[in-house]
Structure 1
Amino acid sequence: MKIYFTDFFNVEVETLENYGAFNISLINDLPLFIDPFLLFGNKKKEYQNLHDDIIKYLTFLKGKAETGRNRKHQVQSWYLFPEVKQNWFGYSKVGNKGSGLGKKFGDAFSSSIHIVFDDLGKEVVNQTSHLEKAGLFEIGVGKDNISDFTTNLIKQFLLEYTEKFSLENIETKFLRKVYVEKVFFDYKFERWMPKEYTLPYIYGDYVMLTPRDLLTKDDNWINSKDLRGNFTGILTGIPNEQLRHEVFNYYFQVLPKVEENKKNSQKEISTAIHKTIKQFPEIIKYYIKIKEENKEGAKSISESKVEEVETLFISQVQNFVELLSNTKFYKIPAKSSYAEALDRIVYLKKVIEDNDGYRLFYIGGVPIKREEDLQIIYRLTWFASDFDVNRETNNGRGPVDYAVSKGSKDKTLIEFKLASNSKLKQNLENQVEVYEKANNTNKSIKVILYFDIIEYNKVVAILKELKLNKSPNIILIDAGRKVSASNVK
């Protein structure tokens, strides 16, 4: 069964691991991204040079922004990049296609870069600039933007990294010469330049590998959530006593007064923090210094997060697919999209409930909490179908988990949900029916995964209330931990 890079290109997993690359899925994006701090904090000189190159480009952008000339042209040329979908990382709605860095990002970043990076190019000893700083200001630059920007700025390294591995380890029949746009920046001509590479090729496009030690999940090491979540702790660590007093004083002044034994709302706290940072932007420098001093922590946490992704979306999915292979799951004869989808879900249910398939949905003994993870898992196990399966197809009315179709006239929508979802009732009542109209189909299947009796009772109560308890297209799957048969008395 082919799911991962090593499967499609006949490479030994150990060979790829020894090279240091992550074994990406070529079915669906996995929820990882490149953290630029892992370039800065790594002992490899090559990585440190890449971080320096990023800062060099930011310095160039800042200098141009300060002149204020041809701003619209600059944004088009220097800030806008397509998503590097070929690395198969991110949170794409369909396969591996994301939105990239568009005009909104370009306008936000270019108009504020001289403010955010006010000391760029003027750093003193033991002071370093970081691209992630842009995500600490509320200027419309988020973690996805930081990751996409980083990937584009080090694309030449990633392409060379992939080409070297490919030429040494992949059969030539799987390779192709590819002309890649926007590979490196020519400072003399002030434009991004293309270059040709020999790369793995599939689905009409090249594939790009990424070193495992550059990846993380959820948040960059330097991130806004962390800054605001530990705000008073960061203020306490400011060594300048006078500045520390002034910052605390200002913060408590802008924080609304509340009655005794009551607390400020999270919104009030966030607003006060934002005002304080705006008044004392040097707070960010102290925060970044704290993060810089814990490089090993960044490395350790990122490794742990990558291992979690590998466990859930590679190791456990492979075991699950092996279980499915022992059933008729991948041998269901061609029939209507609804019949095949329903048959397959019945097999999924049996394997999960009766053949230890429930283990797929646990990390460290704790059940998965994100529906996005459940949807990726489903996509990775469904790949062998001869039907066109598009994850979260968007036809103008919002994304649905999967559209399974055999031509334009035979389409079934599949909605996967966790019983713990607080909006489950609303979803069952309205959501799929709206999607059906948008996708020109009247067939849908709703699959609800529950982990304990409390969640089961909640779902049953909702279904009874909505008079859906006898609906044949609503499938409940028990993913609760099972007692070993040998322990049953």
Structure 2
Amino acid sequence: MATFFSDAFRLEKSVVDEYGAFDVSIINDLPLFIDPFLLFHSEKQEYRDLHESIIEYLIFLRDRAADSHVSDGMLRNWYCFPEVKQNWFGFSMVGNGGSGLGMDFAGSLHENLNFIFANFGEESITESSHLEKVCLVSSGVGRDNISDFVTNLIQDFLCTYTESFAKAHLREDQTREVWIDRAVFNFKTQSWQRKRYELPWYEGDYIILTPKDMLTRDDTWINTSDLINRFQDIPTAIPDGSLRASVSNYFERELRARKKKGRHPTKGKRAKAATETIRQFPELIDYYIKLKEDTGDDATDLSFEKVFATELFFSKRLREVLQPVLAGTDFYRVKPGTYEESHIRLAYLKHVIEDMGGWRIFYDENGKAVEREKDVQILYRLVWFGTPSDAGTEANDGRGPVDFKISRGREKTLVEMKLAKNTKLEMNLKKQTDIYQASSDAQRAIKAIVYFSYSQLTRVQRILKRLGLEDSKDIVLIDARKDNKPSGSKAS
């Protein structure tokens, strides 16, 4: 039952933990990524050196950006990278594949370095330059782009880090010699060079380990949403009174131009006015980054908590709660059709969660429910292995994505994993599955709904009654309430 790296290589999880690496899932990407700010703020010199190498590369790109004759080929060479899927992090709901960095990312970064941030690397307000800076004004550049870019730029470190672990803890037959095409950048030749590593090898591909203390979840410490939300704090950090007055005046003008007469400006209007003001005064970004640098300890603490919570939810609890129970059943051995198999796996999962303590996987150490739909979907994906069926997720056959498409040859079954608190649940139940089913040419469709309180249950029941679905066997309700689990004596 190899679900995680330590399982696959027959190691105690503590061995990976003591090395400082995250014990990744080898079934599905987990929603973590590298935050470059954690490299900058680290007490480890090797991390700070990595951050400096990222800035050095961006300064190289800045110098090239001034050339109006840069070809598409050079843009692809300097900016476009594949996703490093072998680290098993990201936002993919299907295995560990992702789109990587394409020409849209290249164009945005190249333009920002050429026009808005032509002084990148020469800032006087902040302690350092930051990659996130050139992504703050581009709506098409997000956390996944930054993570992919950083992961590629420090791939040599990650591979060497993994190689050292492999030499210390793995047998020779568990590793393989691997050539990485874009491992090290040669500034003299202005090109990427190959390098060879001895890396863990599992089921036809290598695996890269990542230190926990450079990982975070949800967003980078320096990010666009935070910049907009904290916009009102930025002018107070500007020592130049004239600039401060100009910024405030421009923002108020933008706000008046957007708000309706006699009404207070909406949050969206304020965000748009702030965005336009930042474009007009890009130096505001340096003052914002300075605020983030000054509170860097908070970034380290918050990221540690987020990574620990992710590890607890997907790794420790899955091992402690689900795997031991499911291993003693036919859960991983059933081989009926996709519709029957989907129902059997949901029935087992429901039984484990409701009757055998599995509900604990949805609660943190303080007893608070973790109610995120993506988490539930990833958890479901992690128990879809040991099957001849293809359990694809987020399949988009023309009319929008569906959570899971279980297929085997020409036979297909759709499965949607939803939370009872989803505000669009009724609309989803009424229309979405029928649309997806027709679009995917699937034979059947199943809805699984997880609820965490009595009020959520009654809401779902009312919706099902209105839609005439209260007796449908293709609607599976899963009770994840912690306060409705009788003890063994009471249950009997």
TM-score interval for Structure 1 and Structure 2 normalised by the shorter chain: over 0.9
2: CA distance, partners of 1:324 / 1:451: 22
- Residue 193 of structure 2 corresponds to residue 193 of structure 1: yes
> Letter of the aligned partner of 1:388 in structure 2?
D
State the 1:111 CA deviation: 2.0
Residue of structure 1 in register with 2:148 after alignment:
148
Higher mean C-alpha displacement, 269-278 vs 233-242: 233-242
Secondary structure of 2:198's aligned partner = strand
The partner residue of 1:383 within 382, 385, 394 is: 385
Supply the distance in 2 between the matched residues of 1:158 and 1:19 (Cα, whole angstroms): 13
Match of 1:374 among 373, 376, 398: 376
Amino acid at match of 1:412: T
Q: What is aligned with 1:473?
A: 474
Instruction: Report matched runs for 1:188-337 at 5 Å.
Output: 188-256=188-256, 262-322=263-323, 324-325=325-326, 328-330=329-331, 333-337=334-338
**What's the counterpart of residue 464 of structure 2?**
463
Q: CA deviation at 1:237?
A: 2.4
Q: Unpaired segments of 5 or more residues in structure 1?
A: none
Q: Residue 437 of structure 1: CA displacement? A: 2.7
Q: Match for 2:168: what amino acid?
A: E
Q: In the alignment, is the contact (CA less than 8 A) between 2:126 and 2:287 conserved in 1?
A: no
Mapped to 2, the partners of 1:447 and 1:329 lie a distance apart of: 21
Normalising by structure 2, we get a TM-score of 0.94
Q: Provide the C-alpha distance between the structure 1 equivalents of 2:50 and 2:371, rounded to a whole number of angstroms.
A: 35
2:95 corresponds in structure 1 to 95
How many angstroms apart in 2 are the aligned matches of 1:260 and 1:396?
A: 42
Cα separation, 1, equivalents of 2:385 and 2:6: 16
Report the CA distance between 1:76 and its aligned residue.
Answer: 1.4
Change (3 A) 1:70 1:231: closer
Provide the TM-score with structure 1 as the length reference: 0.94
State the SS of the aligned residue for 1:385: coil
* One-letter amino acid of the counterpart of residue 446, structure 1: K
CA distance in 2, matches of 1:291, 1:25: 32
- SS in structure 2 of the partner of residue 343 of structure 1: helix
Deviations 1:120-171 (A, max 9, x none): 2434486311000022113522221111111111111111111111111111
* Counterpart in the other structure of 2:177: 177
Secondary structure class of the residue paired with 1:413: strand
Report deviation, 1:411.
2.5
Q: Give the superposition deviation at 1:87.
A: 0.5
CA shift, 1:279, in A, is 1.8
Is the contact between residue 235 and residue 244 of structure 2 (CA under 8 Å) also seen in structure 1?
A: yes
Aligned identity (percent) is: 43
Please give the secondary structure, in 2, of the residue aligned with 1:404: strand
Q: Which moved more, 1:310-319 or 1:323-332?
A: 323-332
CA offset digits 1:350-379 (Å, max 9, x no partner): 222222221111223222232111000111
Stretch deviating more after TM superposition (473-482 or 111-120): 111-120
Name the structure 2 match of 1:435: 436
Query: For the residues of structure 2 that align with 1:299 and 1:50, how far apart are their CA atoms?
Result: 17
Displacement after TM superposition at 1:92 (Å): 0.7
State the distance in 1 between where 2:21 and 2:328 align.
Answer: 33
What secondary structure sits across from 2:402 in the alignment?
coil
Amino acid paired to 2:201: Y
| Contact kept? 1:338, 1:443, Cα under 8 Å | yes
Corresponding position: 1:362 with 2:332: no
Shift of 1:396: 4.1
Aligned to 1:423: 424
Give 1:73's aligned amino acid: G
Supply the distance in 1 between the matched residues of 2:313 and 2:46 (Cα, whole angstroms).
31
Quick one: distance in 1 between partners of 2:339 and 2:327?
A: 23
Deviates more, 1:225-234 or 1:23-32: 225-234
Judged with a 3 Å threshold, the aligned counterparts in structure 2 of structure 1 residues 202 and 391 are, in CA distance, closer, same or farther, namely farther
Retained in 2: the 8 A contact 1:182–1:194?
Answer: yes
Q: Secondary structure at the match of 1:392?
A: strand
Look up the SS of the partner of 2:235 in the other structure.
helix
RMSD: 2.1
Q: Which residue identity is paired with 1:365?
A: G
Note the alpha carbon deviations across 1:393-442, whole angstroms, 9 max, x for none: 3444433222223x313322211111111111121122222222333321
Deviation, structure 1 residue 278: 1.5
C-alpha deviation, 1:331, in angstroms: 5.3
Q: SS at the partner of 2:66?
A: helix
Contact 1:175 1:198 survives alignment (8 Å)? yes
User: Does 1:349 find its partner at 2:350?
Assistant: yes
Q: Shift in Å at residue 466 of structure 1?
A: 1.7
2:450 match: secondary structure: strand
**1:211, distance to aligned residue in structure 2 (A):** 0.7
Residue 82 (structure 1) shift:
0.5
Q: Which runs of 5+ in 2 are unaligned?
A: none
1:48 and 1:85 map into 2 onto residues whose CA distance is 24
Report if aligned partners of 1:371, 1:417 keep a CA contact under 8 Å in 2. Answer: yes
Query: What is the count of residue pairs matched by the alignment?
Result: 488
Could you give the per-residue CA deviations for residues 200-232 of structure 1, whole angstroms, max 9, x where no partner exists? Answer: 112322110101100000110111111111111
CA distance in 2, matches of 1:49, 1:74: 26
Change in CA separation of 1:270 and 1:481 when aligned onto 2, cut-off 3 Å: same
Q: Which residue of 2 aligns with 1:62?
A: 62
**Which whole-Å CA distance do the structure 1 matches of 2:395 and 2:273 have between them?**
40
CA, structure 1 residues 332+4, in 2 after alignment: closer, same or farther (shift >3 Å)? closer
**1:377–1:438 Cα change, 3 Å:** same
